[in-house]
Amino acid sequence: MTAEAIIAAIAPAMPGASYAALASSDAAVTPTIGVPREHLVATCRALQAPGLEFVAFSDVTAVDFHPNRSPRFDLVYHLVSPHRRARLRLKVGIHAQESIETLTKLYPGAGWPERELYDLFGIVFDGHEDLRRLMMPDDWDGHPLRKDYPVQLRKDAQTYMPLQVTEEEFKANLERDRYQRGQPSAAGKK
């Protein structure tokens, strides 16, 4: 099913929402639809209706393009229709200070990925029952996957010279290692 066909199928249930069929390299396998932020939950509800049946949530991730881009973030949702054996990608643009409604009421599996996006990007999901840090410590300052996140650790690159040993030292090291492992020495084998 193409992105255009899916948009046509949900359009009657979504008056006033404008969608865009987005080009992607895998559009034949996973069609991509641009969804307005304020219509995300209603769109997902329409996608669950008989005929489309996108009832399985696969994942959500985010892309931070640049602090000066508008909208700054793209949220990328992946849904699955097991009955139709089809996948669908939804892209939602969101500004840095905006929040978006959680999908946990429609897709309970969205809870942890939404927490991850909150933790690493600072994206707030309204209505999420447990929106707190997931990967970073609770007292961590900032969101490390944002493009404007300051790098806090500065360390010079270290290089190492190969270990140089004489032939006698090498043989002595071998004998010591064999002794420690309880193996007979090379001298005793002769």
Establish if 136 belongs to a structural domain. Answer: no
CATH number of the structural domain spanning residue 107:
3.30.460.80
Residue 44: inside a domain: yes
Residue 169 lies in a domain: no
Q: What's the confidence (pLDDT) of residue 124? A: 97
The pLDDT value recorded for residue 186 is: 65
Whole-model pTM? 0.77
Going 174 to 175 to 176 to 182, the CA torsion angle's sign is: positive
In a domain, 101, yes or no: yes
SS (H, E, C) 31-49: CEEECCHHHHHHHHHHHCC
pLDDT tens, N- to C-terminus, the chain (190 residues): 899 999 999 999 998 899 999 998 888 899 999 999 999 999 999 999 999 999 999 999 999 998 899 999 999 999 999 998 999 999 999 999 999 999 999 999 999 999 999 999 999 999 999 999 999 998 888 999 999 888 756 656 556 666 677 889 888 888 888 888 887 766 655 4
- Cα gap 162→41, rounded to integer Å: 59
What does the alpha-carbon distance between residue 88 and residue 29 come to, in Å, rounded to a whole number? 8
- Count of the separate structural domains present in the chain: 1
- Domain-located, residue 14: yes
Kindly state whether residue 147 falls inside one of the protein's structural domains.
no
Domain that holds residue 50: 3-126
- Residue 134: inside a domain, yes or no? no
Residue 105, domain member (yes or no): yes
CA angle at 53 for the pair 93 and 109, rounded to the nearest 5°: 60
Contact 67, 38 (CB under 8 A): no
Residue 103 and residue 58: Cα distance in Å, rounded? 12
Exposed/middle/buried for residue 190 (C-beta within 10 Å: 0-12, 13-18, 19+)? exposed
